[in-house]
Amino acid sequence: GAVVSQHPSWVICKSGTSVKIECRSLDFQATTMFWYRQFPKQSLMLMATSNEGSKATYEQGVEKDKFLINHASLTLSTLTVTSAHPEDSSFYICSARVTGTGRSGNTIYFGEGSWLTVV
């Protein structure tokens, strides 16, 4: 099946620094990827929709200047948490939709997630 990979899986950073998380579609092209955030014992909350070659679409309440999203190619989207603070500590998950028919078609697949801890 389709595979979406995130890197890094775990990252610890100091308050005030920036952290970049990568999301790759390994065996398909994704014009659109989605970034979610999951707090412990809570559901996934959509942060933004990442569109290849254009600006991301952010959900209400998500600071676009703090959570920079770049989708420079059809297989890579990056999320950069700028000037991170402890309250940004969370589990960040990306996903991408496989289009077309077939067993994997029209299904959104998720990356493994990235744990961010800001100290």
Lay out the site mask for other proteins across 17-36 (x = CB under 8 A, - = otherwise): --------------xx-x--
Dist CA 117 CA 53 (whole Å): 30
46 vs 76 by CB, closer to other proteins: 46
49 binds other proteins (CB under 8 A): yes
Task: Determine the Cα angle at 13 with ends 113 and 88, to 5°.
Answer: 60
82 vs 115 by CB, closer to other proteins: 115
User: What tokens were used for 64?
Assistant: 């676009």
Contact at 8 Å (CB) between 67 and 48? yes
Q: Judged by CB under 8 A, which of 43, 54, 65, 100 binds other proteins?
A: 43
Where does this chain bind other proteins (CB under 8 A)?
Answer: 31-32, 34, 41-46, 49, 51, 93, 95, 97, 106-113
